[in-house]
Amino acid sequence: MKIINLDQTEYKKLAAKSYDLEKRRLRIEFLKLQEDVIKNNRRICIVFEGRDTAGKSTAIRFFSEYLMPKHFNYIQLGIPTKWESSHWFQRWSKVIPKNGQISFLDRSWYTRAITEPIMGYCTENQYRAFMKKVNNWEEELISDGVELTKFYFSLSKDQQKIRMEARKNSKLKYWKLSKNDEKVITKWNAFTLYKEQMFEKTGTEVSPWVSINSNNKMIARLTSLRYLLNKTEYHRKKILKPEKWSKSLNNYSTNLEGVKFDNLSYEQFMVISKYSDDI
C-alpha cells in the first residue's frame, strides 16, 4: 500500500493576505505547467475523490480558474447506463485526457470502490472485478503516457455534518443536498471501511493515493496544488517556499450566504468558515 499523507503544517500560520499571494503564485506555476502540457502533447489526469462536502468541486475550481479553457476538461459523469455499468473501464477510458490536455475528475472510476457497493449500485462481483483489475488498468494508462495523480480529500464526521446542515439551510445551495446524499451520510462507518480497502488495494508505488485533510478547505487547496506542482516537471518551474499562517492577525475575511465578513480574528474566521461552502 502506498499512501502519501501530506504535511499541511507548512501552511498552518498563513496570514489571510498571504493566502491570496500564495494562491496567485501557485496558479502562475500551474499555468506554466499547462503551457508545457500543450507544447509537448502531455496528458495529465487528476482524480479528486472523497466524501460528500469534502471540497472536491471547489478545489477543482481553485486549480483551474485561470487555465486556458480549451486545454482542460472538468469531468463529472452522471448515473451510468446499464451498458456502462457492465463495461466500467470502457466508460472511463472515454474521458482520459488527449494530447495537450489536463483533465480534472470530480469523482472517478473509484466510485465503484466505495459509493456503488455501499449504496447497492453494483453487484459484489462487479466490485471484486474492479478491485482486481484497476491497478493493471492504471499502469497501462501510465505506460501510455498519462500522468495520473489521485487525491483523496478527507474530513471529519463532525465537519461533514456541519457542511451538510449548511447546505440544507442555505437558500443558495440547498440543491446540492440530494436525497441520496442524506442516505450516504448515514453510512459513515461503511465508507471508512471501503475507503481503507481501496487504499490498501489500489495505493501502489506507480499510482499512490495522496491524502489531503480538507477540514480547512483553504489549506487543502494550497497543499494539493503545491504537491502537484512539486511532483511534476515543466519548463521554467519555480516553487517558492510556502508562506506562514498567522493566528495573531485580525485580517481574515469570508463570505457566508452572500454576506462578506471582514476584519475577523483567526478564531472568528474558523467558526464562520465552517458554515461556508466556499471555504
CATH of the domain at 56: 3.40.50.300
Question: How far, in Å, are 34, 147, 200, 246 from residue 203 at the CA level?
Answer: 26, 15, 6, 34
Shared domain for 183 and 271, answered yes or no, is no
* Number of domains, the chain: 2
Shared domain for 166 and 262, answered yes or no, is no
Shared domain for 126 and 173, answered yes or no, is yes
Query: What is the span of the domain harbouring residue 44?
Result: 3-246
Shared domain for 139 and 221, answered yes or no, is yes
Shared domain for 270 and 174, answered yes or no, is no
Alpha-carbon span 158 to 257, nearest angstrom: 21
Shared domain for 257 and 221, answered yes or no, is no
Give per-residue pLDDT as tens, 65-114.
999 999 999 999 989 999 999 999 999 999 999 999 999 999 999 999 99
Split at pLDDT 50, 70, 90, the class of 249 is very low
Shared domain for 108 and 143, answered yes or no, is yes
Shared domain for 202 and 268, answered yes or no, is no
**Taking the model in full, what pTM does it have?**
0.82
Give per-residue pLDDT as tens, 30-49.
999 999 999 999 999 999 99
pLDDT value of position 20: 85
Shared domain for 241 and 199, answered yes or no, is yes
Alpha-carbon span 90 to 102, nearest angstrom: 19
- Mean pLDDT across the chain, nearest whole number? 86
Q: What are phi and psi of 64, to 5 degrees?
A: -100, -5
Shared domain for 71 and 143, answered yes or no, is yes
Shared domain for 91 and 181, answered yes or no, is yes
Shared domain for 181 and 275, answered yes or no, is no
